[in-house]
């Protein structure tokens, strides 16, 4: 089964906490602070792996978390850094932010890597807070929290040439006779429910990847049937072979069929309409209405489109068609590498805070407020002074005054409550 869409939750590692520690050795009466810093949390990294073919594994495991950084140690030793979590995905996977559906990376080559969530920085140990006037700091900083975000994975097939056309026009048959692929083939609509890939060899050292894109129908661009799921695979190809059933057995008009598929591709993505394509008239060995076929052929020639006559079932013209497609690929430019976007390291701003008034209490919430409270030792006078200075430096005091706080009113930060004093 081809699983080409999945949503997962990722979480980078938290930074380790800084340590409050003092040097204690024989004959050293007051060695001073020596608390080390916390280690950095592990990143979450996506890596393209050519050995993987589907996103099936992500159906069963939905949450991925990197390792946290270790806490700081004595003797100014930094805690161990968290190990990065490497998530392997198939080549051709597009990574999107599930909240905005915005593409943030395109892993279209083997070994390509993308850091989707950075680990939190480690907190400072108390050695950083020693000053000439504060020689015994009894507080340290906690590590920064890791990033949590929801990621959407989409797999688009990487093929040089794509076979498009209505259901049952012979795409699977053509793929089977020109490559080693063995797609399921039968004489009914929508035999192919998922794309198939095959490698076509046209000579020594000359080959390309051919994709059988499942049959499209009218309304595919609006998601009717499996339209969106199929059309997105067409985007990666450099050349399209547009198969049309010209036998007339089913009473269809080949010109109308051709125009319908072209319209659906253009509606889905206007760039698809600009892709080079070769019109391939299939089933020419069983034509029942020669006049209809001649009208179709003249129309394609009038539109100045490349035209080939084949019979996939008898292999008539298939070798020549593949050789021509190979020649076209040599003239067509390779697709440009998608630019990796520099994803914000944090989903939320670590310095952000908000103030709300609940009855007579001003509530300060947000990452910045949590970090200030967590790094304060409220039983230590010097740490309390540092706390007050942090409130001023962070802008929380100014924001409280703008919110209309008066002296003596209550402020709540996390589980801490105190009276506001100018």
For the segment 399-410, what is each residue's pLDDT rounded down to a tens digit? 888 888 888 889
The 3-state secondary structure of 279-307 reads: EEEECHHHCCCHHHHHHHHHHHHHCCCEE
Structure tokens at 277: 């394509």
- The per-residue pLDDT for 166 is 85
Who has greater pLDDT, 279 or 32? 279
- For all residues of the chain together, what is the average pLDDT? 82
Give the confidence band of 140 by pLDDT, cuts at 50, 70, 90: confident
pLDDT in tens, 321-375: 999 999 999 888 876 555 455 444 444 456 678 888 888 889 998 888 887 887 7
Q: What is the mean pLDDT of residues 208-226?
A: 59
Of the listed ranges 48-52, 126-130, 205-209, the least confidently predicted one is 205-209
Of the listed ranges 32-36, 136-140, 145-149, 346-350, the least confidently predicted one is 346-350
- The per-residue pLDDT for 230 is 57
- CA atoms within a 13 Å half-sphere pointing along the CA-CB vector of 369: 20
Rounded Cα gap, residues 25 and 62, in angstroms = 50
Share of the chain above pLDDT 90, in %: 32
- The per-residue pLDDT for 191 is 43
Give the confidence band of 185 by pLDDT, cuts at 50, 70, 90: very low
- The per-residue pLDDT for 153 is 93
Checking if the pLDDT of 66 tops 80, the result is yes
Give the confidence band of 276 by pLDDT, cuts at 50, 70, 90: very high
Burial class (CB in 10 A: 0-12, 13-18, 19+), 181: middle
pLDDT in tens, 284-317: 999 999 999 999 999 999 999 999 999 999 999 9
- The per-residue pLDDT for 337 is 53
Checking if the pLDDT of 83 tops 90, the result is yes
**Cβ pair 48, 91 in contact under 8 A:** yes
261 DSSP assignment: H
- The per-residue pLDDT for 347 is 40
Closest by Cα among 229, 233, 231, 190 to 211: 233
Q: What is the mean pLDDT of residues 197-210?
A: 80
- The per-residue pLDDT for 182 is 54
């Amino acid at each position: 089964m081809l699983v080409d869409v999945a949503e997962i939750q990722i979480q980078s590692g938290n930074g380790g906490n800084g340590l409050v520690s003092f040097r204690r050795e024989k004959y050293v009466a007051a060695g001073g602070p020596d608390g080390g810093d916390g280690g950095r949390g592990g990143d979450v990294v996506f890596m393209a792996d050519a050995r993987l073919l589907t996103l099936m594994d992500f159906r069963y495991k939905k949450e991925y978390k990197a390792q946290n950084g270790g806490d700081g140690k004595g003797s100014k030793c930094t805690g161990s850094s968290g190990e990065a979590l490497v998530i392997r995905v198939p080549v051709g996977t597009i990574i999107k932010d599930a909240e905005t559906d915005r593409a943030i990376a395109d892993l279209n080559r083997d070994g390509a890597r993308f850091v989707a969530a950075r680990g939190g920085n480690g907190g400072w140990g108390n050695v950083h807070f020693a000053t000439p006037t504060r020689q015994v700091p009894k507080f340290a900083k906690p590590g920064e929290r890791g990033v949590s975000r929801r990621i959407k994975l989409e797999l688009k097939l990487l093929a040089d040439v794509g076979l498009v056309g209505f259901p049952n026009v012979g795409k699977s048959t053509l793929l089977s006779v020109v490559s080693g692929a063995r797609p399921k083939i039968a004489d009914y609509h929508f035999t192919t429910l998922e794309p198939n890939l095959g490698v076509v060899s046209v000579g020594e050292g000359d080959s390309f990847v051919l994709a059988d894109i499942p049959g499209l129908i009218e309304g595919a661009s609006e998601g009717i049937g499996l339209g969106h799921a199929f059309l997105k695979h067409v985007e990666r190809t450099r050349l399209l072979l547009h198969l049309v059933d010209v036998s007339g057995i089913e009473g269809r008009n080949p010109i109308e069929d051709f125009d319908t598929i072209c319209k659906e591709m253009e509606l889905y993505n206007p760039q698809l309409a600009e892709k080079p394509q070769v019109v391939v008239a299939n089933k020419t060995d069983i034509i029942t209405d020669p006049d209809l076929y001649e009208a179709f052929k003249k129309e394609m020639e009038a539109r100045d489109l490349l035209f080939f006559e084949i019979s996939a079932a008898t292999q008539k013209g298939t070798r020549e068609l593949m050789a021509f497609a190979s020649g076209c690929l040599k003239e067509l430019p390779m697709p440009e590498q998608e630019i990796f976007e520099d994803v914000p390291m944090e989903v939320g701003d670590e310095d952000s805070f908000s103030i709300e008034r609940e009855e007579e209490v001003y509530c300060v919430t947000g990452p910045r407020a949590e970090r200030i409270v967590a790094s304060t030792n409220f039983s230590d006078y010097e740490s309390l002074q540092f706390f007050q200075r942090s409130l001023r430096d962070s802008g929380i005091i100014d924001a409280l005054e703008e919110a209309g706080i008066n002296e003596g009113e209550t402020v709540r930060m996390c589980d801490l409550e105190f009276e506001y004093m100018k």
